[in-house]
Each structure stands twice: as C-alpha cells, then as structure tokens.
Structure 1
Amino acid sequence: MGRLDDKVALITGASRGQGREMAELFVRENATAVYSADVLDAADADTSEVTFLTMDVTKSDQWKTVVGQIVAEHGRIDILINNAAICLYEPILDTTDEIYDRVLDVDLKSIFYGMKTVLPHMVSAKKGSIVNVSSIWGLAGVPNSYAYQAAKGAILNVSKNVAATHGPDGVRCNSLHPGYILSPMNEHQAPEINAALIAGTVLGRPGNAIETAYAALFLASDEASYVTGTSLVVDGGYLAP
C-alpha cells in the first residue's frame, strides 16, 4: 500500500481488462486520483473509486479536454498509461486501408496524442512517468495481424524517443510488453491460437491481468526512478527460448 502516494494517474482503455486492473490497483496503492479514459462503459463504476471519463483516444480535441479537466482539478498529471488498443488478425495481403488506418489510429496515433498533450504538464513539473502498453508482438514476428504488429513495434521506439528527448526534463517513458493475458480483448481469439501461446510459455499458463498491472505499477512508481527507455516484458517466458 502507498506506492503511489500523492500521484495523479490517467489510464486509457481502463474500463475493463488489463487497464481496469491497473486503475483499481493504482487506487489501492493510494494514488490521489485515478482516471480512466475509454469509449466503453465500465461495469460496476458506481462501486469503484476510479473516475471514469468517456474519451475517444483517436481524437486530439478529446485528449485536450480530458487532460485539461484533470489538470484543472489537481494541477498536474504524474502518470500516463497509454493502454487502449484493438487487435485485428489479417495478414498483410488481406489488410485493407480501412483496417490499417483503424488499428494504427487506436493503437499508435492515440499514444502520439496522449504524450503530446500530457508532456507539457510533466515537463513544467519536471517529473512524470509514461508507460506505453505494447505487446510481445512489438518484439518478435508473428503470422497475420499485420496492422497490430506494425503499431506495437512502433510503440517500442516512440517510447525510447520520448525517453531520450525528455529525460533531461525529469520525465521517464517506458514500454510494457504483455504476452497472452486473459482479458476481454482476446476472449474471442481462436482456441488454437490461445493454446499455442500458452504452450510457448516456460511457465505453462496464461497470464492474469493483475500481473500486467503490477508491472505497470512498478514502471509508474518512484521505485522505477532510474528506469527509462526500457521495454518490460510480462509474458511467462514466451520470448525466453
């Protein structure tokens, strides 16, 4: 308890799944305020201490409105977790312009908008932690899912870019790379894909959303004060062999 004392956090895609676990964990760790920004409605919102805001992460004006509201209420944003994402499975030859644009908008352009909107406040405060949620498919090749992999691979380098650019300003930026985590995002994934992902881990099981949340907590907290520009993998050892 208390690992996020006096911190104000904004997490995208936190109405459910990994993002929701992050938000609820951050509340338990005594953050001053935790905001979820999502296009989806959150279940059990009335029993949660998370503040749920409706936001389309692909719209820069909505980012400005939400960030402006948080800064007006608290004077700062200490933590930004860019977690919102979608996954489609088409290989490159079946990837249409519409599929590519949609996935890149949600999974990558949203991170550009988020960091560009929040960074001035962090730079002004001379402190801040940004965690951009990528995937193991941002580190290794996989058949199909061309647009998804394009976005997740880019997240690694844009995180390093911001870390290098704004480290002197006191801002840290890291990427988080989950493997197969049980969550609503992949509940409709083909069973054979799930079985192969589990078989490929050295721990022999899927991950749970709370395990990703604890990794995000570490990167967001002052415990990681000397960690920036890195890529933290949470995959049960899938990439270890």
Structure 2
Amino acid sequence: MKNEAKVVAITGSSRGIGRAIAVTFAKAGYDLILNGRQTVDPELITEIETIGRQCVFVQGDVTDETTATQIVATAFERFERLDVVVNNAGITKDKLLMAMSAADFKAVVDVNLMGTFNVTQVAFTKMLRQRSGCIINLASVIGQHGNAGQANYAASKAGIIGLTKSVAKEGAKRHVRCNAIAPGMIATDMTAVLKPAMTDAILAQIPLNRFGEPEEVASAALFLAENQYVTGQVLTVDGGMTI
C-alpha cells in the first residue's frame, strides 16, 4: 500500500537545528528519513515514534555521493515518495583568512555546499519525475553579509543561496520548489562555546536581544514546506540582526 503521509528527508538531523526540524515535521504528520555522520540518538527515534510517525536513519557523510543516493533511495524504498528535503548538514572551521589553509577552506565548502548539491541533485531528479517536491537549504546570514574569520563558511553559504535560486528556476515548471533559510545566532552547540564577552557583543547587535531557538528555525522550514507559492526565496530568521 502506498504511503499516504508526506515524507521529509533531513540531513544533519542528529542534534541542534536538524533535530528540531525532525521533531517539528513529525508533529506536523510527516514520516522521516534522518541522516547524520554519527549514530542517531535513540531518544530522538523514541520521541518521533511516540508522536506516531515512522522514521529511518541513514548514517553517512553527505560529501559522499553514495550517502546522498542512499538517503533518497531509502525514502522511496520505505515510503514510495519524497515530498521535502531539508539540507541542514554543515560544519565550521573559523580562522582569519591569513591563517586559513586550503584544507580548512575546502573542508567547509565540501560539507556545506557540495553536500547540499549532492543530496539536492539526487532528490531533484526524483521530484521532477513525480512532478512535486520541495527542497529547503540551510544558508546563513553570514552567506548574505560575510564575517571576519569565516571566509570559508560565508563562501559556502553564499553558494547555497545561489544554488537555491537556480534550482527554483529549473524546477518551477514541474512544481518542484526550492528555498533557503538564513538563520542568525541560534542557541546550539556551536554558539554554546562562545565566551560571555563575545555573547554580549553579539546580543548588542540583535534588536530582539536574544539568540534564536532551533525550534524557531524549524517552524520556518515547515512554513516553506507547506506554502506552495513560495520558491527561490531566502527566509532570514535572525531576530532583526541584519536590519
């Protein structure tokens, strides 16, 4: 019997924003394909199953084309459909440009941009055939405005924005949409390591005077998945930081 529930695949879904997106989509009635480089947290699986949704975990690195193929193939093998892909997997290797090695630059671009491309290309092909689908890419305000010490991260996220707009134009005639989310400072493991003085300096730049929560990015992703008339857009979720 063909699966009637919508299906979402989320990369980098083991923790932080990716985990919040998984739970938010489960609560909205989606079945899930989860992905991460490390073993999934059993508590996440339990939480999703308690909500009443099904989920499958595909372990692997999105820089590997085989992993990208497996994520998409698993959706069709298990659920016979794929409605939404959220490209969330990403890393940082922050250094000032003069101290940044080519390896530092390439590592971030490979995961953030090439990983997004790998999964998008496989999913996009399937979605064109089914004449429906939505791809959501996690960009960043850094990709829109740049930041000292993050040339590699900024380049990768700016690339994601360009990729998003191009995919949106290519997919529109077959009802395949593609959008991006540009989070600002979100309370995750990445921001938890900031020193108090740095945190205070950043908060001074945010009109809402707080970091965002992963669930607030997740609700933006669900909006983009559900609104059928939004494509090629970058939704900034930053508390007014870039006003």
Whether TM exceeds 0.5 here: the answer is: yes
d(CA) in 2 for partners of 1:193 and 1:89?
A: 15
Relative to 1, partners in 2 of residues 1:195 and 1:228: Cα closer, same or farther, differing over 3 Å? same
Distance apart, 1:145 and its partner CA: 1.0
Residue correspondence of structure 1 range 123-134 to structure 2 within 5 A: 123-134=128-139
SS of structure 1 residue aligned to 2:190: helix
> Is the CA contact (8 Å cut-off) linking 1:10 and 1:77 kept in structure 2?
yes
Match of 1:99 among 104, 124, 142: 104
Match of 1:77 among 75, 79, 82: 82
SS of structure 1 residue aligned to 2:134: strand
> Is the CA contact (8 Å cut-off) linking 2:63 and 2:114 kept in structure 1?
yes
CA deviations over 1:126-159 (Å, ceiling 9, x no partner): 1101000011101112111110111011111110
d(CA) in 2 for partners of 1:206 and 1:45?
A: 23
- 1:39 equivalent in alignment to 2:37: yes
Partner of 1:225: 228
Relative to 1, partners in 2 of residues 1:102 and 1:64: Cα closer, same or farther, differing over 3 Å? same
Partner of 2:189: 184
* Aligned residue-pair number: 233
Residue correspondence of structure 1 range 11-50 to structure 2 within 5 A: 11-31=10-30, 33-43=31-41, 44-49=43-48, 50=55
- Give the letter for the 1:91 counterpart: L
Distance apart, 1:51 and its partner CA: 2.9
> Is the CA contact (8 Å cut-off) linking 1:108 and 1:152 kept in structure 2?
yes
Moved more, 130-139 or 43-52: 43-52
> Is the CA contact (8 Å cut-off) linking 1:82 and 1:132 kept in structure 2?
yes
SS of structure 1 residue aligned to 2:180: strand
TM-score w.r.t. structure 1 length? 0.92
RMSD (Å), alpha carbons: 1.4
Identity %, equivalent residues: 32
Match of 1:234 among 232, 237, 241: 237
d(CA) in 2 for partners of 1:170 and 1:132?
A: 17
CA deviations over 1:163-222 (Å, ceiling 9, x no partner): 01111111000010000000123322344333222211111111111101000110011x
d(CA) in 2 for partners of 1:100 and 1:190?
A: 24
d(CA) in 1 for partners of 2:40 and 2:77?
A: 24
- 1:66 equivalent in alignment to 2:87: no
Match of 2:173 among 168, 182, 187: 168
Match of 1:201 among 203, 206, 210: 206
Residue correspondence of structure 1 range 149-168 to structure 2 within 5 A: 149-168=154-173
d(CA) in 2 for partners of 1:66 and 1:214?
A: 23
- Give the letter for the 1:7 counterpart: K
Moved over 4 A (4+): none
> Is the CA contact (8 Å cut-off) linking 1:15 and 1:52 kept in structure 2?
no
- Give the letter for the 2:200 counterpart: A
> Is the CA contact (8 Å cut-off) linking 2:87 and 2:116 kept in structure 1?
yes
d(CA) in 2 for partners of 1:214 and 1:13?
A: 17
CA deviations over 1:15-53 (Å, ceiling 9, x no partner): 00011000011001111x112110123331452324332
> Is the CA contact (8 Å cut-off) linking 1:76 and 1:121 kept in structure 2?
no
Relative to 1, partners in 2 of residues 1:21 and 1:83: Cα closer, same or farther, differing over 3 Å? same
TM-score w.r.t. structure 2 length? 0.92
Unmatched tracts of structure 2, length 5 or more = 49-54
SS of structure 2 residue aligned to 1:48: helix
SS of structure 2 residue aligned to 1:124: helix
- Give the letter for the 2:70 counterpart: T
